[in-house]
């Protein structure tokens, strides 16, 4: 069974709209932990989780399509969504000053999007150790952007696989990605390769999010009901084993889930 508090959090975090990032912050006077950001056109909309209220923020300086978004050191980095030769490829939003600035670029003054590509729309973006990892929907590479100096590198993936990505998240300083044809995988940063999570047999993961050091995997069935499986992840050497702790329906009834996403929230 799912604890009632977990159920209420999971259902409240399934939102309609285009989610572009998350920001962990503390507002002591209001005793609120965390905030959420929803991207509509070119504007930032901070969301206070416990009140459910949205407030309008400033627009970005450059129009973008399919840009990658991640949070590093409390700032929001928006990357790509434009041509490779454009100089304003990175924008940074400071929630304290409520301002946008252009982010640093390396010596080549551009972000490279893999061999033969001059444009990229990132399907998933995560941040780890001061770097932003941008992942396209199906292309056989990932773009890694260093927020400190703006340098960029590409991680090329084996061509014998179809790297059709669904979702990605970071759990305990490891990147996890759900690929449509390969299942749940994790990134070995030392060897710079993707490894499959052992012990799981699932192909329905449409969304996933970190939840207290575990993986919450969500999907919609043929009856328009949303399921959630809570997965514990245990590492042994170079292997990670997944174990399903529970799996239940968390949302049912008349719910518009055509375009939905999941957010992690610490209370």
Burial of 48 (0-12, 13-18, 19+ CB in 10 A): middle
On whether residue 72 sits in a domain, the answer given is no
On whether residue 2 sits in a domain, the answer given is yes
- Where is pLDDT greater, at 61 or 46? 61
- Where is pLDDT greater, at 245 or 193? 245
Q: Identify whether the C-beta of residue 243 lies closer than 8 Å to the C-beta of residue 236.
A: no
On whether residue 193 sits in a domain, the answer given is yes
pLDDT, position 53:
64
On whether residue 44 sits in a domain, the answer given is no
On whether residue 247 sits in a domain, the answer given is yes
Boundaries of domain holding 257: 1-17+165-267
- Where is pLDDT greater, at 30 or 160? 160
130 backbone φψ class: left, alpha, beta (φ>0; ψ -120 to 50): left
- Sheet containing 239-251, strands listed edge to edge, beginning at the edge strand earlier in sequence: 207-211, 214-220, 226-236, 239-251
95 backbone φψ class: left, alpha, beta (φ>0; ψ -120 to 50): alpha
pLDDT, position 48:
56
Average pLDDT on 141-155 reads: 87
What's the structural domain count of the chain? 1
Residue 91 phi/psi, 5° resolution?
Answer: -125, 145
pLDDT(7) > 90: no
Number of neighbours of residue 60 by Cβ within 10 angstroms = 18
């Amino acid at each position: 069974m799912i604890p009632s508090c977990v159920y209420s959090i999971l259902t409240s975090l399934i939102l309609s709209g285009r989610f572009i990032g998350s920001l962990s912050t503390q507002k002591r006077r209001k005793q609120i932990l965390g905030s959420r950001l929803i991207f509509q056109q070119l504007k930032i909309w901070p969301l206070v989780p416990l009140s459910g209220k949205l407030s309008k923020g400033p627009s970005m300086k450059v129009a973008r399509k399919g840009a990658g978004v991640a949070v590093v050191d409390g700032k929001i980095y928006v990357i790509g969504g434009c041509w490779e030769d454009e100089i304003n490829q990175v924008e940074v939003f400071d929630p304290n000053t409520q301002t946008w600035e252009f982010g640093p670029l390396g010596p080549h003054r551009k972000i490279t999007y893999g061999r033969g590509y001059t444009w990229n729309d990132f399907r998933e973006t995560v941040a780890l150790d001061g770097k932003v990892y941008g992942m396209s929907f199906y292309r056989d590479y990932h773009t890694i952007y260093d927020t400190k100096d703006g340098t960029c590198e590409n991680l090329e993936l084996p061509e014998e696989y179809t790297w059709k990505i669904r979702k990605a998240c970071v759990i305990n300083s490891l990147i996890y990605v759900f690929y449509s044809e390969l299942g749940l995988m994790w990134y070995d940063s030392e060897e710079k390769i993707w490894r499959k999570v052992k012990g799981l047999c699932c192909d329905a993961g449409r969304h996933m999010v970190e939840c207290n050091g575990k993986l919450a995997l969500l999907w919609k069935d043929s009856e328009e009901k949303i399921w959630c499986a809570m997965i514990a992840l245990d590492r042994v050497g170079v292997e990670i084993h997944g174990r399903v702790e529970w799996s239940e329906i968390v949302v049912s009834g008349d719910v518009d889930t055509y375009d939905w996403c999941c957010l992690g929230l610490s209370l």
